[in-house]
């Protein structure tokens, strides 16, 4: 078999596993998430320039020692600090459900992209500042586009 075919078969196998996982309630989570939202897929005007690489959910919790409430919160934005694995959790995009930027209100936090960047990038900046870079751009936590997104 050639390499491409092997890759395709592998991808199909993984897709089946993911589809089976989807039958369970939304209480489980992969160790690493490919964060491609519907908003991304539904984009009509031109293909997205960037594609998200991956988010190491498990590593963020275990190695970087983050509390669930640093990222997950309730409908009022109050941190879900007591969340446990197995509890029901909403996806960010169920509330941050605007998938297009509003030109008049560019920072609207209910826009999915702003919520994601607000959470991921802001914490990364703080982490890098703590690690010694005064501007928070350089350090172990990525803040530049290409480190999270690869060119599509």
Spatial distance between the Cα atoms of 38 and 100, rounded to a whole number of angstroms: 12
Spatial distance between the Cα atoms of 117 and 113, rounded to a whole number of angstroms: 6
Given 13, 14, 77, 138, the residue binding ligand HEC (CB under 6 A): 77
Q: Give min distance, CB of 1 to ligand HEC, in A.
A: 31
Query: Which one of 6-14, 15-23, 31-39 is the stretch in contact with ligand HEC (CB under 6 A)?
Result: 31-39
Query: Which one of 1-9, 10-18, 63-71 is the stretch in contact with ligand HEC (CB under 6 A)?
Result: 63-71
Question: Per CB under 6 A, does 98 bind ligand HEC?
Answer: no
Cβ neighbourhood burial of 96 (10 Å; 0-12, 13-18, 19+)? buried
Q: Give the residue from 75, 71, 91 showing the smallest Cα distance to 83.
A: 71
First-to-last alpha carbon distance for the chain, in angstroms, is 27
Question: Per CB under 6 A, does 37 bind ligand HEC?
Answer: yes
Question: Per CB under 6 A, does 56 bind ligand HEC?
Answer: yes
What separation in angstroms does the CA of 100 have from each of 29, 103, 114? 26, 9, 10
Given 8, 10, 16, 145, the residue binding ligand HEC (CB under 6 A): 145
Query: Which one of 6-14, 16-24, 109-117 is the stretch in contact with ligand HEC (CB under 6 A)?
Result: 109-117
Q: Give min distance, CB of 131 to ligand HEC, in A.
A: 7
């Amino acid at each position: 078999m050639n390499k491409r075919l092997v890759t395709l078969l592998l991808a199909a196998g993984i897709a089946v596993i993911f589809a089976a996982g989807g039958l369970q309630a939304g209480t489980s989570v992969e160790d690493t998430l490919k964060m491609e939202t519907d908003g991304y897929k539904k984009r009509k005007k031109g293909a997205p320039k960037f594609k998200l690489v991956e988010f190491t959910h498990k590593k963020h919790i275990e190695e970087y020692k983050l509390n669930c409430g640093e990222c997950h919160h309730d409908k009022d934005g109050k941190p879900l600090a007591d969340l446990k694995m197995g509890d029901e959790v909403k996806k960010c995009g169920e509330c941050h459900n605007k998938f297009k930027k509003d030109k008049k209100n560019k920072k609207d936090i209910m826009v999915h992209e702003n919520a994601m960047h607000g959470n991921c990038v802001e914490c990364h900046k703080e982490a890098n500042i703590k690690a010694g870079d005064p501007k928070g751009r350089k350090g172990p936590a990525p803040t530049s586009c290409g480190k999270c997104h690869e060119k599509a």
